[in-house]
Amino acid sequence: MWAEVDGVTTLRLGRREFEGDELVIMAIINRTPDSFFDKGATFDDRPALDAVARAIDEGAGIVDIGGVKAGPGAEVDVTEEIRRTVSFVAEVRRRHSDVVISVDTWRHEVAEAVCDAGADLLNDAWGGVDPKLAEVAAKFDAGIVCTHAGRAQPRTRPHRIGYVDVMADILDVTVGLAERAARLGVRRDAILIDPGHDFGKNTRHSLEATRRLGEMVDTGWPVLVSLSNKDFVGETLDKPVNERLLGTLATTAVSAWLGARVYRAHQVAETRQVLDMVSSIHGTRQPAVARRALA
């Protein structure tokens, strides 16, 4: 069951407030030519803007814009990352005043530029490698996602990584980053923690992190999970990237039951159905219609 904790109940990001029983989708919008899932489908402005509009229509409350592929690949310097993201953030802000705009970056220079353009949330997937990122969030009254990445450097893959207790390490890192962000002036109701599936972890680590997700929820910090089509799903089921949706949705349902609040996803409509079904089973959402046995 979902934990009852004395923590953040209402998330306040940009113009939006998400209550404690609201499960929120963060739609992935890759501004890269080499992303592992869509292979650059939203690198150009028009398809990317269409993808934003579609994601919002399908039920996303947050769009997460990234200018650098997470894995190894061609070098993308600060200037190029800014070129790929800042003007796009500004246009999304102009077209969609209420959607929460997140930017997936670990660099404070990029964070400064996108926040100035209208971003509401900084998704720091690399676990605080740039300590100035939280300072930027505080300066612009933006939120921040504090992620466990196993102390890996950006865009590197884990190799023979090990933990005495993977969840203990996740809690130590993410809660530490969250508390530091709060001390720097980031609002507590704009801070999330993320176990960082695949980041600095092998498949068994990511499965254990999912199984023990309730321990993160118990900290009182809102939990974000980024599960969509990841390698731990692929290895668990021995499926290629384009056949990982069912495994992703199963993991999403488990994570929702255990209390995660935000779900970073490629396939928004399918994720929305899963989250709505879990919420209805849990009793925090009414069925969309009620006809059976009423006539």
What's the chain's average pLDDT? 95
Helices 108-117 and 132-139 cross at an angle (nearest 10°) of 20
Mean pLDDT of 109-131: 98
Tell me the Cα Rg of the chain.
18
Mean pLDDT of 182-206: 98
pLDDT of the residue at 3: 40
Whether residue 151 lies in the annotated active site: no
Mean pLDDT of 196-219: 98
d(CA 240, CA 43): 22
142, two tokens: 């933006």
Whether residue 31 lies in the annotated active site: no
The model's pLDDT over 211-223, given as tens digits with 9 standing for 90+, comes to 999 999 999 999 9
Which range among 124-128, 206-210, 229-233, 291-295 shows the weakest confidence by mean pLDDT? 291-295
- Nearest partner of 209 among 236, 182, 189, 191, judged by Cα: 236
Residue 189 pLDDT more than 60? yes
d(CA 64, CA 42): 12
pLDDT band at 4, cuts 50/70/90?
very low
Sequential DSSP letters for the chain: -----SS--SEEETTEEE-TT--EEEEEEE--SS-TTTTTTTSSHHHHHHHHHHHHHTT-SEEEEESS-SSS-S---HHHHHHHHHHHHHHHHHH-SSSEEEEE---HHHHHHHHHHT--EEEETTSSSSTHHHHHHHHTT-EEEEE--TTPPTT----S---SSHHHHHHHHHHHHHHHHHHHT--GGGEEEE--TTTT--HHHHHHHHHTHHHHHTTSS-BEEE-TT-HHHHHHHT--GGG-HHHHHHHHHHHHHHT--EEEES-HHHHHHHHHHHHHHHTSS--S---TT--
Residue 174 pLDDT more than 90? yes
d(CA 207, CA 219): 20
CATH number, domain 11-282, options 3.40.718.10, 3.40.50.2000, 3.90.480.20, 3.20.20.20? 3.20.20.20
The model's pLDDT over 74-103, given as tens digits with 9 standing for 90+, comes to 999 999 999 999 999 999 999 999 999 999
Mean pLDDT of 34-47: 92
Residue 35 pLDDT more than 60? yes
pLDDT of the residue at 8: 79
pLDDT of the residue at 6: 57
Q: Which of 84, 230, 261, 272 is labelled catalytic?
A: 230
Q: Which of 107, 201, 264, 272 is labelled catalytic?
A: 264
Residue 46 pLDDT more than 60? yes
pLDDT band at 25, cuts 50/70/90?
very high
The model's pLDDT over 237-278, given as tens digits with 9 standing for 90+, comes to 999 999 999 999 999 999 999 999 999 999 999 999 999 999
Cβ contact 281:253 at 8 Å = no
d(CA 81, CA 119): 15
Mean pLDDT of 130-135: 98
pLDDT band at 5, cuts 50/70/90?
very low
Cβ contact 165:204 at 8 Å = no
- Nearest partner of 259 among 228, 209, 213, judged by Cα: 213
Mean pLDDT of 274-291: 96
pLDDT band at 110, cuts 50/70/90?
very high
Would you list the domain boundaries of the chain? 11-282
Nearest 10 degrees: CA dihedral of 43, 44, 46, 52? 20
pLDDT of the residue at 39: 86
